[in-house]
Amino acid sequence: MSAHVEIPRPYESAPGRFEVELTFPAPSKGRAQQHHDVAWVLADVHGLDARTPYAVNPRWSQYEERWGNGERHGWLDMRRLTVHGGARTLARYLVALGRVLDEVEALATRAVREFGAWKRSIPAEPFLEFEDASAMRTRVRGFRADVLRALVQGLGAGTRPVGERDSSRPLWEQYGAVAGEVWARAGGIDLVDVDEEAAAVEEARMVPAAVAEAERLVRVEAARLEAQRLEDERVELFEQVHAAVLRDADGADVVRAEREGQEGLFPVSVVRPPLVAPPPMPVKARRAPSRRGRLRPETRAALSGAVRMIPAEAVAGVYGERASLLVPKVSPDRRRFARAA
């Protein structure tokens, strides 16, 4: 944040609208008013609403105003500025405000350096002949304030014409030309460029995590209520359509019964099943997770029945202790005349 403005935590004055009261702690009242003017112009550029608070004079009374020292009731406090708007827009404005104030002060400092270079030059000697050190300090302070005021006045103008210096006049009278020179040399000041990460941090400071979570829960509850309302409307429309279809079917049954001579045997509406509203969409059953990939191939084949497992005792009883897996050879004649199983 900039040292030229104090930015407290914004508060929510209305749903979706945040407000912050800026304070400009400059030593002099004139410089604080210039910072106030910078913040005012920047608020207009970002599309925010700004107002200057009213300060009540604590020394005021009706007696002092009429018959005493003429104390006024109050005045506009130029050391404060109230700005309000949307959360994201206000966060971008607060981030840009510190940068713009620093750049304006830097341009004023450059102008003072130009004044120092002119003071040490030969053309300035006729104007500094009767100026002592105390007078020059006053000249420098006044020159810086005039340059800063000129920079603030042309802040929202964008491009400005650059005037030429007049060698027949002292430089402290040509603060407008020097302000135009330093502005053109720096390429102006961008009033819209904002660091998005800093703006996100400022917005998070405006809207805490608890408030954001509460807003999310409110949106979820609103969506649930809207879905419930739509479901109730769907069921109601289904019942109306079903009732209309039943009336048409009853009318058709009455006509058919009169034509066939079977009227009055039983009420048709009684034997119909009760109305059951179908679900809005079919629900697909979820399959159980498969464990097929966790088994070995021989174990999977044994469990599925493709391979029959024979106990070792049964093999030893048939083939002896040393079981042979070779198939005995059978002669072709025996195979030919063997009994069919």
Place of tokens 């604080």: 32
Rg (CA), the chain: 46
Residue 26 lies in a domain: yes
Range in 84-93, 150-159, 312-321 the model is least confident about: 312-321
Per-residue pLDDT at 267: 52
Minimal CA–CA distance to 171: which of 122, 118, 105, 93? Answer: 118
Q: Are residues 108 and 247 in the same domain?
A: no
**Inter-axis angle of helices 87-119 and 29-45, nearest 10:** 130
Q: Look at the alpha carbons of 86, 88, 91, 97 in this order and tell me if their dihedral is positive or negative.
A: negative
Residue 21 lies in a domain: yes
Question: What is the rounded distance in angstroms from the CA atom of residue 182 to the CA atom of residue 120?
Answer: 19
Q: Are residues 114 and 243 in the same domain?
A: no
pLDDT in tens, 17-34: 888 999 998 888 888 888
Q: Are residues 181 and 254 in the same domain?
A: no
Is this structure's pTM higher than 0.85?
A: no
Residue 148 lies in a domain: yes
pLDDT in tens, 102-152: 888 888 888 889 888 888 888 888 888 888 888 888 888 888 888 888 888
Pairing of strands 49-51, 80-85: antiparallel
When the pLDDT of each residue in the chain is averaged and rounded to a whole number, the result is 77
Phi, psi of 10 (to 5 degrees): -65, 155
Question: What is the rounded distance in angstroms from the CA atom of residue 250 to the CA atom of residue 245?
Answer: 9
Q: Are residues 84 and 230 in the same domain?
A: no
Residue 112 lies in a domain: yes
Pairing of strands 17-23, 49-51: unpaired
Q: Are residues 256 and 114 in the same domain?
A: no
- CA max distance for the chain: 149
Contact at 8 Å (CB) between 104 and 189?
A: yes
Q: Are residues 196 and 66 in the same domain?
A: yes
Place of tokens 């925010």: 48
Is residue 228 packed enough to be buried (19+ CB in 10 Å), middle (13-18) or exposed (0-12)?
exposed
Range in 11-15, 163-167, 205-209, 318-322 the model is least confident about: 318-322
pLDDT confidence bin for 341, thresholds 50/70/90:
very low
Residue 89 lies in a domain: yes
Residue 305 lies in a domain: no
Per-residue pLDDT at 180: 84
pLDDT in tens, 285-317: 666 556 555 666 666 666 666 555 566 666 666
Question: What is the rounded distance in angstroms from the CA atom of residue 169 to the CA atom of residue 154?
Answer: 23
Q: Are residues 37 and 158 in the same domain?
A: yes
Domain count, the chain: 2
Domain with 255, as residue range(s), is 225-270
Q: Are residues 175 and 245 in the same domain?
A: no
Q: Is residue 198 pLDDT above 80, yes or no? A: yes
Q: Can you read off the two tokens belonging to residue 182?
A: 């330093």
Question: What is the rounded distance in angstroms from the CA atom of residue 180 to the CA atom of residue 186?
Answer: 10
Q: Can you read off the two tokens belonging to residue 238?
A: 């289904």
Q: Are residues 239 and 121 in the same domain?
A: no
